[in-house]
Amino acid sequence: MSKLKIFHLLILLSFIFSDHSLSQYKNTNPFNLDFNREVLIIGTGSVAAVTAFAIMENIKPFTPEEIGLLDPANVNSFDRGAIGPFTEDHTGDVLLYTAYLLPISFLAYGETKNDFLDLALIYGEVLLIQTSITGIVKGTVERTRPFVYDIDTPISEKTSIDARISFFSGHTSMTAAVSFFTAKIFTEYIDDNSAKILIWSGAILLPAVTAILRVNTHWHFPTDVMAGYVVGALVGYFIPELHKTKVNDNLSIYPSINLNKPMLSLQLKF
């Protein structure tokens, strides 16, 4: 819970204190920053982040009596094989924190380096949206982690709030979001098809390995990591896609708010 609070705070502060100018967009940048759209995305993400925080705050840990009533037979047969004793997933943690650093690689390539501030803002939106979705879903579903069903897992682990937020896998979803975001950005700047294949292969493989580790260490069921992978990949791919110059030439998004009715206006040009 403390990690979630700190992460949300850092994201919100990064936007509050950012001095990035949206008016300094260069025509050579394949991505376009639009003030109205960025306000909409960041505003919506911030509201979702606060909502996720409130939902997570209301999660109650299992009591020993509730744990005693849990029956592995009630877990569907596809997921049941993930049940096992609590195990620290240090490798999965390393992969997650490594994924967070992937966008720094934009500084190693001339064109992405020149547009780094634009790309950093889009990356911040990916983190904000992905974290918010994960928190809302975890706090709403409150699925029991596989290790809670195992008799060898210490009671202290079973009675933690973390024991009740299995669906969906945050490690897998965030790793997928950042990996797909990084691959999407690079492939908009480069023309070498061989390089694109390597980049996307790595982007697909990293969250897949993370997912396998989360299941093998009994932190998640297979359906947890599958859902997390899909959600993260969609966020990581489509947030940059919304910012592509050719998309923005045809689609305009304007938030309109009055005292009686908040509205979102869309304008599509042919």
Q: Is residue 194 part of a domain?
A: yes
Per-residue model confidence as pLDDT tens digits over 24-76:
333 468 999 999 999 999 999 999 999 999 999 999 999 999 999 999 999 99
| Residue 194 in this model has a pLDDT that exceeds 60 | yes
Q: Is residue 103 part of a domain?
A: yes
Range of the domain at 227: 2-16+31-64+81-268
Per-residue model confidence as pLDDT tens digits over 128-153:
999 999 999 999 999 999 999 999 99
Q: How many CB atoms lie within 10 A of CB 232?
A: 31
Q: Is residue 22 part of a domain?
A: no
Q: Tell me the C-alpha to C-alpha distance, in Å, between residue 57 and each of 1, 62, 136, 139.
A: 8, 14, 11, 8
Q: Is residue 71 part of a domain?
A: no
Q: Is residue 168 part of a domain?
A: yes
pTM of the entire structure? 0.82
Instruction: Report which secondary-structure segment, H or E, holds 251.
Output: strand 251-257
Q: How many CB atoms lie within 10 A of CB 252?
A: 14
The structural domain count of the chain equals 1
Q: Is residue 204 part of a domain?
A: yes
